[in-house]
Amino acid sequence: MMTPEQLVRSVTAITGYARHAGVEVVSAEAGRVTLSLDKKPELTQFNGFFHGGVVSGLADHAAGAAATTALPAGKVAVTVDLHVNFLSPASGDRLFAKARAIQVGSTICVVTVDMETETSDGLKPCAIASVTLRVVDMPALAETPRT
Amino acid sequence: MMTPEQLVRSVTAITGYARHAGVEVVSAEAGRVTLSLDKKPELTQFNGFFHGGVVSGLADHAAGAAATTALPAGKVAVTVDLHVNFLSPASGDRLFAKARAIQVGSTICVVTVDMETETSDGLKPCAIASVTLRVVDMPALAETPRT
Amino acid sequence: MMTPEQLVRSVTAITGYARHAGVEVVSAEAGRVTLSLDKKPELTQFNGFFHGGVVSGLADHAAGAAATTALPAGKVAVTVDLHVNFLSPASGDRLFAKARAIQVGSTICVVTVDMETETSDGLKPCAIASVTLRVVDMPALAETPRT
Amino acid sequence: MMTPEQLVRSVTAITGYARHAGVEVVSAEAGRVTLSLDKKPELTQFNGFFHGGVVSGLADHAAGAAATTALPAGKVAVTVDLHVNFLSPASGDRLFAKARAIQVGSTICVVTVDMETETSDGLKPCAIASVTLRVVDMPALAETPRT
């Protein structure tokens, strides 16, 4: 039986998107997960800030992790619907997604995510997300294609 | 004065995120833009399908392009809020985002996006998105950092 | 076994909110339902237009009806999450919600809704909505409290 | 110059929808507004709970109030887009919307809303909302049609 942190690290490691983007697991407990990303050229908007798609993608991955760590072993939460409000440009060199499961049901979970960017002036909120997820049986991770 | 297609190609080329992911411009006219992405490992979920963050990111980029091509020269639309409903796994080898501006105002634009994935059985809808954007002055592209 | 139209009329009649607001069933077939509302003082914003809450409420009711008519008998779709983009003031004397189920699953349905308002210049789009619903067992309607 | 509470009471009083539904102003300061509604038949779903449209409508009205009280005098925030996640049935006899402006700009505001219902067991979260609003000039309230 994995701890929440082992579970999030494991799922992140086998997810091509997260691994290639450079997603780091800052902390993970049941229902609460914080992830981060360092800025690099393939993650930027034309103005040099983190792209909105990257902000959305990190929110999505963090939401899935937060919900899944709150579920019984053998279950995984997959996103049904993702809503992101962009508050300000993600202008810092690092991006954080702090996800919290606010509802964990047998079929549906709801997770909110606070996104912040680390600038020379400190952490600045740059987006919030609310995510609806569906609970499904977790595939055997060992058999998952490692892309 | 650029054509809509030149504009979308230009913005895509200077956007690190879109260029590195491999976003292709399938078609572009004022208010309607279709983009595509070929599957590769850095775009996948742990099950090997396109990651939800990639689906969201392509929707976001297509929405910005559709709105911007409908605006007067010198204006660009930046995303305020992005809502994606995932309908089915993006299981094909190619992902399409067909964006259409349904409202183009002087301060706010609204764009809907139909997402499809190309499988051996043909095109399959995999997500829809609705995107709210704000109209701002376009920065001089020549001076934009080319990340 | 009720027809889709009988089902929508029945559910609307026992829903205090819809009945008191004056919701009318314009048409109903499996997965597609159009409802309307005539303007009256208790439905208006301070500027005299339909209130955003009324637009949202009619979208929600229409989405539930469209999804439920597409489900097997004995199942009802309840809203998990509602997203409304307001395009222009609902300035006419009548409001229409045209709902269409774009995904009907055993646990989740997704419905899009086009909202229009009837003005002296004809029908004008005023909002769009995307709605995620969950499938549950329908309670015996005869035993439902008729508020 | 009105206080935030006077402003919210004034706008609520001239809004036919809010007045007829019975919206009460619990508290109001700049950027933070709490409203409530008592249950009555015209606000209910077929199961006797508050209808999702009522939950959405109260969220919308509270969001507009929270944003407007944070704006300079003479400006009002109108909803561009409303997203509601329903967490559990609003089964109590009273519904609360606690709105907080998390971004107040010169053209765009973003407000989050926590919805709770008062049951015999105490307050229970029933929904959350995130709302994007646009800043416009406030019409002279004295001249607004009092529907």
Mean pLDDT calculated for residue range D97-123 = 96
User: Which residue's structure tokens are 């680390």?
Assistant: A118
**What local confidence, expressed as pLDDT, does residue A47 receive?**
85
Band of residue C139 on the pLDDT scale cut at 50, 70, 90: confident
D88, D125, D130 ranked by CB distance to A85: nearest: D130
B138 has pLDDT over 90: no
**What local confidence, expressed as pLDDT, does residue D143 receive?**
42
Give the orientation angle of helix D52-69 with respect to helix D4-13, to 10 degrees: 140
**What local confidence, expressed as pLDDT, does residue D49 receive?**
94
D26 has pLDDT over 70: yes
Distance between CA atoms of C19 and C24, rounded to whole angstroms? 9
pLDDT, one tens digit per residue, over B57-110 is 999 999 999 999 999 999 999 999 999 999 999 999 999 999 999 999 999 999
Q: In chain C, which residues touch B (CB < 8 A)? A: 83, 85, 87-88, 102-103, 110, 112, 125, 128, 130, 132
Chain A residues lying within 8 Å of D114, measured CB to CB: none
Share of residues in chain C with pLDDT > 70 (%): 95
> CB neighbours (10 Å) of residue C14?
19
**What local confidence, expressed as pLDDT, does residue C127 receive?**
98
Query: Are D86 and C82 a contacting pair at CB < 8 A?
Result: yes
Mean pLDDT calculated for residue range C127-141 = 89
* C93-97, C117-121, D22-26, D100-104: range with lowest mean pLDDT: C117-121
**What local confidence, expressed as pLDDT, does residue B140 receive?**
58
Element (H, E) at D8: helix D4-13
* Distance set, CA D123 to CA A13, A146, B130, C85, D84 (Å): 41, 46, 33, 30, 19
Share of residues in chain D with pLDDT > 90 (%): 86
CATH of domain D4-137: 3.10.129.10
Using alpha carbons only, what angle is made at residue D82 by residues D80 and D84, rounded to the nearest 5 degrees? 175
Query: Are C103 and B88 a contacting pair at CB < 8 A?
Result: yes
Band of residue B51 on the pLDDT scale cut at 50, 70, 90: very high
| Nearest CA-CA distance, residue B3 and chain A, Å | 19
* A11-15, A27-31, A54-58, C109-113: range with lowest mean pLDDT: A11-15
Query: Are D102 and A88 a contacting pair at CB < 8 A?
Result: no
Q: Where are the beta strands (DSSP E) in D24-121?
A: 24-29, 32-38, 75-86, 94-104, 108-119
Query: Are B80 and D108 a contacting pair at CB < 8 A?
Result: yes
Query: Are D134 and B107 a contacting pair at CB < 8 A?
Result: yes
pLDDT, one tens digit per residue, over A18-54 is 999 999 999 999 999 999 999 999 999 888 999 999 9
- Return the structure tokens found at D53: 């449209």
Chain B residue closest in CA terms to C104: B87
A120 has pLDDT over 50: yes
| Nearest CA-CA distance, residue C55 and chain A, Å | 20
Chain B residues lying within 8 Å of A83, measured CB to CB: 81-84
**What local confidence, expressed as pLDDT, does residue A46 receive?**
85
Burial string for B12-25 (b: 16+ CB within 10 Å, else e) reads: bebbbbbbbbebeb
Band of residue C46 on the pLDDT scale cut at 50, 70, 90: confident
B85, B125, B130 ranked by CB distance to C128: nearest: B130
**What local confidence, expressed as pLDDT, does residue B139 receive?**
75
Chain D residues lying within 8 Å of C53, measured CB to CB: 17, 53-54, 56-58, 60-61
Compute the mean pLDDT over every residue in chain D, rounded to the nearest whole number.
92
**What local confidence, expressed as pLDDT, does residue A142 receive?**
43
pTM: 0.93
Mean pLDDT calculated for residue range A4-17 = 92
**What local confidence, expressed as pLDDT, does residue C144 receive?**
42
The domain segmentation of chain B, as residue ranges, is 4-137
- Model ipTM value: 0.92
Compute the mean pLDDT over every residue in chain C, rounded to the nearest whole number.
92
Mean pLDDT calculated for residue range D108-128 = 96
**What local confidence, expressed as pLDDT, does residue C123 receive?**
95
A146 has pLDDT over 90: no
**What local confidence, expressed as pLDDT, does residue A147 receive?**
38
Mean pLDDT calculated for residue range D109-131 = 96
Chain D residue closest in CA terms to B136: D107
Q: Of C35, B116, C56, B46, which is closest to residue D81 (Cα–Cα)?
A: C56
Mean pLDDT calculated for residue range C71-84 = 96
| Nearest CA-CA distance, residue C118 and chain D, Å | 19
pLDDT, one tens digit per residue, over A75-105 is 999 999 999 999 999 999 999 999 999 999 9
**What local confidence, expressed as pLDDT, does residue A140 receive?**
58
Compute the mean pLDDT over every residue in chain A, rounded to the nearest whole number.
92
Share of residues in chain B with pLDDT > 70 (%): 95
Share of residues in chain A with pLDDT > 70 (%): 95
D129 has pLDDT over 80: yes
